[in-house]
């Protein structure tokens, strides 16, 4: 008699666990369906950019810089930008070729 009782108890527990598992599975499937629908929706460019920017800013951390190091970095960046502008300026002048009224002769 004791064996039968313990077996029925085990069966009841197992059935309860299986039912819980089915519910979990249904919930996960529902979640997956919602995710796929959301991914399939075409997003506007501005909304997508806003989301990316939000994630990027949240993951960034503030740098702990001394004032001297901050000034050093600022000077380096300014020099880099100036070089970039200068390179862009020479590239546009070269692509345009000689200007009308230019008296210099190409060599």
pLDDT at 72: 96
Residue keyed to tokens 């008699």? 1
Residue 1 lies in a domain: yes
Residue 44 lies in a domain: no
pLDDT, block means (10 residues), the chain with 107 residues: 89 92 90 84 64 62 90 96 90 64 57
pTM: 0.33
pLDDT at 77: 96
| Residue 14: both structure tokens together | 């197992």
CB of 65 within 8 A of CB of 73? yes
Residue 23 lies in a domain: yes
Residues 6+ apart with CB under 8 A from 106: 98
Residue 94 lies in a domain: no
Residue 45 lies in a domain: no
* Number of domains within the chain: 1
Residue 3 lies in a domain: yes
Residue 12 lies in a domain: yes
Domain encompassing residue 1: 1-35
Residue 9 lies in a domain: yes
């Amino acid at each position: 008699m004791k064996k039968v009782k313990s077996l029925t108890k085990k069966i009841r527990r197992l059935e309860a666990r299986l039912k819980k598992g089915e519910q979990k599975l249904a919930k996960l499937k529902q979640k997956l369906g919602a995710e796929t629908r959301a991914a399939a929706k075409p997003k506007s460019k501005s909304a997508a950019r806003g989301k990316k920017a939000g994630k990027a800013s949240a993951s960034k951390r503030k740098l702990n810089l001394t004032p001297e190091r901050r000034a050093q970095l600022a000077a380096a960046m300014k020099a880099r930008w100036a070089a970039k502008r200068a390179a862009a300026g020479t590239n546009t002048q070269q692509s345009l070729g000689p200007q009308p009224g230019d008296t210099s002769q190409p060599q």
